[in-house]
Amino acid sequence: MQTIHTIPPLRQRIAHWRQQGEQIALVATMGNLHRGHLALIEAARGVADRVVATVFVNPLQFGAGEDLARYPRTLAEDQRLLIAAGCDLLFAPDAAQIYPHGTPQTVVEVPLLANTLCGLNRPGHFRGVATVVLKLFNMVQPDVAVFGEKDFQQLQIIRCLVDDLNLPLKVIGMATVREDDGLAMSSRNGFLNAAERQLAPALYRTLQGVAAAVAAGASDWAALEVTACNTLQQAGFVVDYVALRRVATLQPPTAGEDAEIVLAAARLGTTRLIDNLIFAR
Ligand code: PAF
C-alpha cells in the first residue's frame, strides 16, 4: 500500500487505475483506526477494484473548545492496519494540502439535516464535514464511498449532498460495529477512563430499551425521549439529546407518522459519545 501526502500524485495514481477501467472506493477517516473502520475497508473491497482510505483530522469540523488538539494521531499504526485490511492507497494530507488558503471561502451547507441533533450542540460541525467530504470526493473521484451508520446524521448529510450536487458516486452506509458489551466503536472511546468505560454501554442499552418499548406499541415519542434521558442521567451521563426521528429527514415524526430511529448524544466526563438505533428496516 502506497501512502501519498499531496494531491498531484494522488490524482496520477487514480488516473492510472481509471485508465485500466478499475472501480474505486473511498473510505474517509480521521485515523486512529478501529474495527469499525476496518469493516468499512472490507465492504469497500467487496464493491470496487481499488480501495483508497484517507486519514485527515479535519480542523474545519471542530469547534472552539472541542477535542481537535487531543484527537489521536496514530498514522504508523493506521498504515499497518490498512495494509493488513487490503487497502490499496492511503491519502494522508496535512491541513495545508486541503486548505491552502486557510479557512475556505467556499463551504457546503446542508441546513435542514444539519441544524438539528448534533448540529445544535456542535455549530458549524457539519459544514466542516460536508465541505471536507466534497473536497475528498473531488480529489479521489470515487465510484463508491463507504461511511459508518454510527455517525448517522453525517451519513444522511453526505447522501443529501451527493444527491443535491449530482455527484457521480454511490454512498454505502455500514452497520455500526460494537464492542462485546454493545458500546459503539469510536476513536473517542479511548478518552474514557476505566470508570467511564464501565458506564458507557448504558448508552446503547438505553437505545435498545426505547426500541423495545416502540416494538411493544409505545408511540408517545416525547415521553420515550424523557424516560431515556432520565435513564442516561441516572447512569452518570450528561445528556445532549435523545431524539426519536424519521430516518430520511431526521425530523420528528408528524401526526400519524411513526418514529423510525432513536439517536442520542451524551457525555461522560470530557468525552462525548453518540449512538443510534433504527427500529425497522
Ligand atoms: O467520520 C469521520 O471520521 C469524519 O467526519 C470524516 C467523514 C472523515 C470527515 O472528516
Q: What CATH number labels 187-276?
A: 3.30.1300.10
pTM, entire model: 0.98
187 CA to centre of own chain: 11
Are both 2-174 and 187-276 of the same fold?
A: no
Q: Which residue has the cell 464493491?
A: 47
| CA dist., res. 249 & res. 81, Å (int) | 35
Closest C-alpha among 199, 207, 206 to residue 267: 199
pLDDT, tens digit (0-9, with 9 covering 90-100), for 120-171? 999 999 999 999 999 999 999 999 999 999 999 999 999 999 999 999 999 9
What share of the chain has pLDDT > 70, as a percent? 100
Reported as a pLDDT band with limits 50, 70 and 90, residue 281 is: low
Tell me the domain boundaries of the chain: 2-174, 187-276
Cell of 171: 454512498
Give the chain's mean pLDDT.
97
Site to substitute for ligand 1 among 26, 54, 58, 71, most atoms within 8 A of C-beta: 58
Closest CA to 276 of 192, 144, 154: 154
Residue located nearest, by CA, to atom 2 of ligand 1: 29
Amino acid at 23: Q
| Residues annotated as part of the active site | 37
Q: Which residue has the CA at smallest separation from atom 8 of ligand 1?
A: 29
In the prediction, which pLDDT does 280 show? 72
Report CA(129)–ligand 1 centroid distance (Å).
Answer: 6
| Class level of CATH domain 2-174 | alpha beta
- As for ligand 1, residues whose beta carbon falls within 6 Å of it are 28-30, 58, 61, 129, 132-133, 151, 154
